[in-house]
């Protein structure tokens, strides 16, 4: 398995420094948070996009994902949601990223209506994603925390251009064990986001291995299935300013993940 981290943990660092941190700490890739206030977003010019590609290329680090914030199960017209995903897919294509991350966001709707909205929107963008050489991944999150919830939608879409992103915190909060999540998501799985927290009541990010999330069990399930994809450390410093700074934690995080991979082999 290959290792990446999300820029959610270093939200204000310039692209060049992010790429260097990844290279210096043995990470193979980076998930780029795409937001207007950050260094990477859909408003970048062609020259600016080329510069991002060059910075990561010089560091020998892959741009794994454009982490967008479109909510495919949210109430409202399809147009703005599809436009937001379309802009993120174009950015991912320009940057050479493999994936675009989207959220469900259907908490104000009943399950059937939220599922139908998400499936319709993902079905609309999936062929375009495939043409651009990217996949749109629906994260286990908010209204659809469980792997079974996301798989229910993706089964209706039935297109390779749409897949799933397994956030281990949210499936754990949904009461799913890794041994249940993986079979549900396996036909659609793009990659995993790993993290650690103190408890369900306190989701402040902790160094990997310092909390309660079933990281060892998750890696073991993946290893037994011979799954050979990406593990991406998402350290949510952006939302928890009191959390420790991420750069000093990168080396220990990579070592912890490498140890889990070795022990599960």
pLDDT tens, position by position, 32-91? 999 998 999 999 999 999 999 999 999 999 999 999 999 999 999 999 999 999 999 999
| Contact residues for 227 (Cβ-Cβ < 8 A; gap 6+) | 1, 182, 186, 189
What pLDDT sits at residue 93?
A: 98
Number of domains in the chain: 1
- Contact assessment for residue 249 and residue 20, using Cβ atoms and an 8 Å cutoff: no
What pLDDT sits at residue 264?
A: 85
Within the chain, what is the greatest distance between any pair of CA atoms? 48
Percent with pLDDT over 90 in the chain: 97
* pLDDT grade for 265, boundaries at 50, 70 and 90: confident
What pLDDT sits at residue 207?
A: 97
pTM of the model: 0.97
What pLDDT sits at residue 156?
A: 98
3-state secondary structure of 227: coil
Range(s) of the domain holding residue 23: 2-264
CA distance 92 to 111: 30
Q: Which of 32, 25, 89, 99 is nearest to 59 (CA)?
A: 25
Both tokens assigned to 51: 């510069």
Instruction: Tell me the average pLDDT of the chain.
Output: 97
Across 187-200, average pLDDT: 98
The CATH number that applies at residue 217 is 3.20.20.150
204-234 residue pLDDT tens: 999 999 999 999 999 999 999 999 999 999 9
């Amino acid at each position: 398995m290959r290792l990446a981290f999300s820029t959610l943990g270093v939200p204000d660092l310039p692209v060049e420094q992010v790429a260097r941190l990844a290279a210096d700490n043995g990470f193979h890739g980076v998930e780029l948070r795409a937001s207007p206030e950050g260094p990477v977003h859909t408003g970048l010019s062609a020259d600016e996009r080329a510069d991002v590609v060059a910075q990561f290329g010089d560091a020998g680090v892959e741009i794994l994902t454009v982490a967008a914030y479109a909510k495919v199960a949210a109430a409202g017209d399809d147009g703005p949601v599809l436009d937001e995903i379309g802009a993120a897919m174009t950015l991912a294509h320009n940057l050479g990223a493999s994936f675009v991350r989207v959220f469900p966001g259907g908490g104000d709707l009943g399950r059937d209506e939220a599922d139908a909205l998400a499936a319709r929107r993902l079905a609309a963008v999936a062929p375009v994603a495939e043409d651009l050489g990217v996949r749109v991944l629906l994260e286990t999150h908010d209204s659809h925390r469980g792997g079974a919830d996301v798989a229910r939608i993706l089964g209706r879409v039935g297109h390779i251009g749409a897949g799933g992103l397994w956030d281990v915190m949210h499936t754990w909060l949904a009461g799913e064990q890794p041994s249940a999540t993986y079979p549900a998501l396996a036909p659609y799985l793009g990659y995993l986001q790993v993290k650690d927290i103190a408890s369900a009541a306190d989701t402040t990010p902790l160094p990997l291995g310092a909390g309660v999330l079933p990281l060892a069990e998750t890696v073991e399930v993946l290893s037994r299935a011979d799954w050979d994809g990406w593990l991406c450390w998402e350290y949510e410093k952006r939302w928890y300013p009191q959390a420790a700074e991420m750069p000093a934690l990168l080396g220990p995080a990579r070592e912890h993940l490498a140890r889990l991979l070795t022990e599960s082999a």
